[in-house]
């Protein structure tokens, strides 16, 4: 045999016999694996190399996948959650949509040993400027996150009552460096003015920049500042834009709570360049949620959340609007890099001219793989 058959045979041997061999080692009384480094070097170093930096194919003897990790590279390792690493170690690569050559260590290592391995791997990223993935909380429908992302997002809002106006927004978010993110948003609206004829078109483009000022895995906190500018690219006369350049500075905060719960807060202002066309306003948004995982904590995740949205224009006599948005986010792919979220935005007061909206999004974290991968 040569070429592909040899590689397939090697993969099969690793998948079938490595966990069994490790179980046998684990049962040997003289073999003591106490530290994360000892466990890693006894179970993982053969494929992942010293310090988790990986091994060349010439040393491995088989072709490794293009997503083969280097745990010392903070660009990839810092953004991942312990939950994700724990699931891959316990369930194996195929269970999470990764490489078939990554075996399950459920029978070879205890949960405590898996935890020690993860802590050792965490130490390989030595640049503490990178916020840890544990602060990458699930994204609410409206409230902006503090964590910088590499993702595409398509949001949709539909009026529950006639006229059933529809607004879609395509977000492109790109992270650069340890703490920065650029954002570009293209909104598209379809308006049913007389309930018979529809008009549609592009709204006001949005450009944004985010900077993480503080993050701490010890306190489970992250704080960011972001500035956005909305450009008057939509047709104001047709109701597709504001007709004025608007600046939106805001702060975003996220806090980890016990039991995979969290709270996220966003507060800022909308500052149009021409107040004759649009009023200045302030807003406050907060989201509280909790994540649940199937398959004994290793499988698909669900996150129920509720948002409270508050906004008020600066003009004298303006009223404060309150909205509630209960919602549910669920992971679609096994790799958990594609998510769906659905909720209902309901005005809690001042309901005249403010309709209930059905809202949902599809999110793709493209850094973790292609849209068709990991299913």
Mean pLDDT of 345-351: 95
The answer on pLDDT for 294 being more than 70 is yes
The answer on pLDDT for 2 being more than 60 is no
User: Which of 193-197, 248-252, 255-259, 325-329 is predicted with the least confidence, judged by mean pLDDT?
Assistant: 193-197
Mean pLDDT of 159-175: 94
Q: Which residue has the higher pLDDT, 65 or 187?
A: 187
The CATH fold assigned to 4-122 is: Cytochrome Bc1 Complex; Chain D, domain 2 (1.10.760)
Q: Which two tokens stand for residue 195?
A: 């309930």
Mean pLDDT of 46-65: 68
Name the burial class of residue 48, with classes exposed (0-12), middle (13-18) and buried (19+) by CB atoms within 10 angstroms of its CB. Answer: buried
- The whole model's pTM is what? 0.87
Which residue intervals of the chain bear CATH 1.10.760? Answer: 4-122
What residues have CB less than 8 Å from 146, skipping those under 6 apart? 135, 212, 222, 223, 224, 252, 253, 254, 264
Of all residues in the chain, the percent with pLDDT exceeding 70 is 87
Mean pLDDT of 7-14: 46
Name the burial class of residue 337, with classes exposed (0-12), middle (13-18) and buried (19+) by CB atoms within 10 angstroms of its CB. Answer: buried
Distance CA 57, CA 171 (A): 38
Average pLDDT, whole number, for the chain? 88
The answer on pLDDT for 217 being more than 90 is yes
pLDDT at res. 47: 82
The answer on pLDDT for 100 being more than 60 is yes
CB 75 within 8 A of CB 351: no
Which residue intervals of the chain bear CATH 2.40.160.40? Answer: 133-368
Q: Report which listed range, 42-46, 56-60, 181-185, is most confident.
A: 181-185
The dihedrals phi and psi of 24, each to the nearest 5 degrees, come to: -60, -40
The sign of the dihedral angle between the CA atoms of 214, 80, 145, 253 is negative
The dihedrals phi and psi of 60, each to the nearest 5 degrees, come to: -65, -40
The CATH class of the 133-368 domain is mainly beta
């Amino acid at each position: 045999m040569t070429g592909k058959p040899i590689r397939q045979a090697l993969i099969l041997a690793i998948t079938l016999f490595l966990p069994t061999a490790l179980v046998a080692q684990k049962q040997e009384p003289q073999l003591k694996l106490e530290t994360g480094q000892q466990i890693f070097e006894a179970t993982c170093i053969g494929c992942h190399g010293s310090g988790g930096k990986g091994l060349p194919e010439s040393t491995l003897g088989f072709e490794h996948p293009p997503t083969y990790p280097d745990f010392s590279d903070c660009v990839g390792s810092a953004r991942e959650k312990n939950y994700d690493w724990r699931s891959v170690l316990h369930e194996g690569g195929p269970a999470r949509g990764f490489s078939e050559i990554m075996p399950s260590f459920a029978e070879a290592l205890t949960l405590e040993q898996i935890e020690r391995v993860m802590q050792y791997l965490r130490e390989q990223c030595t640049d503490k400027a990178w916020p840890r993935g544990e602060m990458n909380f699930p994204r609410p429908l409206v409230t902006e996150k503090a964590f910088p992302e590499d993702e595409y997002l398509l949001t949709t809002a539909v009026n529950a009552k006639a006229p059933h106006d529809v607004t879609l927004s395509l977000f492109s978010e790109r992270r650069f460096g340890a703490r920065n993110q650029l954002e570009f948003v293209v909104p598209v609206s379809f308006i049913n003015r007389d309930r018979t004829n529809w008009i549609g078109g592009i709204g006001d483009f949005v450009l944004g920049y985010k900077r993480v000022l503080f993050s701490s895995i010890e306190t489970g906190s992250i704080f960011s500042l972001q500035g956005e500018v909305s450009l008057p690219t939509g047709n104001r006369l047709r109701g597709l834009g504001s007709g004025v350049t608007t600046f939106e500075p805001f702060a975003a905060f996220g806090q980890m709570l016990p039991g995979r719960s969290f709270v996220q807060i966003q507060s800022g202002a909308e500052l149009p360049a021409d107040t004759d066309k649009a009023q200045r306003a302030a807003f406050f948004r907060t989201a509280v949620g909790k994540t649940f995982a199937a398959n004994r904590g290793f499988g698909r995740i669900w996150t129920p959340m509720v948002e409270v949205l508050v906004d008020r224009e600066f003009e004298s006599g303006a009223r404060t609007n309150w909205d509630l948005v209960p919602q549910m986010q669920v992971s679609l792919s096994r790799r958990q890099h594609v998510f769906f979220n659905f909720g209902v935005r309901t005005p809690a007061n001042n309901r005249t001219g403010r309709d209930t909206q059905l809202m949902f999004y599809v999110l793709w974290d493209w850094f973790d793989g292609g849209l068709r991968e990991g299913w």
